[in-house]
Structure 1
Amino acid sequence: MSPDTVCLDNQIKSLTDEKKWQDIIEIGKQLSHDEKSRYIWVWPNQNCLHFIKNCLEEIQKLFRRIGSGLLEWLIEQSTGSRVYGIEINEKWWTSKYSPTKFIQLNYVDNVDINMEFLKKCANNTENFILFFCYFNCFKTFRKYLNSYNGKYLMIIGPDDTKHKNQKIFTEPGPFNLGLNSNENVWKLYKFFEIDNNGNFLAFYIKG
């Protein structure tokens, strides 16, 4: 880890300790794509967080595959909602090479994504959103959906038709859930264009 990276880690960690989420958003405007992606694939602006807050007004909790947790920390601070973060590969995320973690990570290594998974995550059918940001495996995504009893889904990722870097793709995408017609019970409710690079946040409701 380079001295510059350590300095940036410490700067962001200090701001989270002081709960200065607006200052962290401003820092993102000054960072390169590589610097940003160490923490968040898509750095949100205040309008994006306001959109998420509106989506969460009737919902109490959010859980997702988490990464560093900085995006989730920003969501918690700006919306007042609680985020439950899950990850795999505990060995990596607790190593000296991983970025600073900004919320608690709950590891599900060697856990089947079924009833055992649900015990570690949300089993409430009303007050949770399942949230994916730059996720990259349709097969695992389907397992999450099959285990999830809730009715809200949120996805951040690039729109393949608009994203400036055509080498970047996600599974699922914000407008491509990769589901068969008999599997797709999710209806697009609203979406938000996060930046001018073709990154979107899409909010779905089951039914």
Structure 2
Amino acid sequence: MCDERSEVETLREIYYLTHGAMADTSWRKLLALGDSLEQQLKRKLLWVWPTAPDLDYFNQLLSMHGIRNVLSVGCGTGLLEWLITAAGGKKASMFGLEVDRNWWQSKYSVRSFIPLNYAENSTQLDADFLNSCCENAPPCALLFCYFNNRRAFLDYLDVFGGRWIILIGPQPALGIHTDPNPVQPQLPGNQWTLRERLNWTDRNVVAFYEKISLD
């Protein structure tokens, strides 16, 4: 078991690796740090720890499909999104969206590693709001990582004007429930089609869906 001190020390090292100019070259060190952690602490800090090849292929797909601004819904600290951005040479921008401003701005929360926005309530959700989350540039894609709120997911899709959604979750038959599930997301209508599927380390699935009808 990792004690509280080891967790604090680990966070201090993560803050150091992700800070300032050195962050551009230290993402590999952060991956190595993750590999050295006990599973309980590793999962507490970040549910999905991709490998360097995982990140490289993911960023290749972002570039191939012209995805430049990604809004990650329910991103938590945004450490995964930071890794993606750093590994890709900051060619794509990642922004986060959370709903509990009081928690994420409290002294008890781990600080966010990406720009974080807040949706105060469901009535705030509209296209203008989503656009403002990416510094007034419309998001090319919405990212949902181990998301588990079907109603909220559909609310975001309803106001999203972009072409791409990216779903990260468990491989089938693992007994881990997410909604949407990246393999069988049950997307509304016939507007979306699966374009890419990646199998990340530790039995995670990454799926890119493109909206084929913008009506």
Q: TM-score, normalised by structure 2?
A: 0.84
Q: 1:130-170 deviations in whole A, cap 9, x for unaligned?
A: 11101011111011111111111111100232x3xx2x211
Shift in Å at residue 108 of structure 1? Answer: 1.2
Is the Cα–Cα contact under 8 Å of residues 127 and 161 in structure 2 kept in the other structure? no
Number of residue pairs aligned between Structure 1 and Structure 2: 199
Please give the root-mean-square deviation of Cα atoms over the aligned residues, in Å: 2.0
Paired letter, 2:149: C
Shift in Å at residue 124 of structure 1? Answer: 6.0
d(CA) in 1 for partners of 2:70, 2:161: 13
Partner of 1:77: 86
Shift in Å at residue 193 of structure 1? Answer: 0.8
d(CA) in 2 for partners of 1:155, 1:176: 10
1:25 alignment partner, SS class: helix
* 1:191 and 2:197 aligned: yes
Q: TM-score, normalised by structure 1?
A: 0.87
Q: Give percent identity, aligned residues only.
A: 34
Partner of 1:52: 58
2:45 alignment partner, SS class: coil
Among 205, 208, 215, which residue is 1:200 paired with?
205
Is the Cα–Cα contact under 8 Å of residues 131 and 137 in structure 2 kept in the other structure? no
Partner of 2:183: 175
| Structure 1 or 2: more helix by fraction | 2
Paired letter, 1:160: P
After alignment, is 48-57 or 112-121 more displaced? 112-121
Partner of 2:44: 38
Q: Which runs of 5+ in 2 are unaligned?
A: none
Q: Which runs of 5+ in 1 are unaligned?
A: none
After alignment, is 52-61 or 135-144 more displaced? 52-61
Partner of 1:108: 119
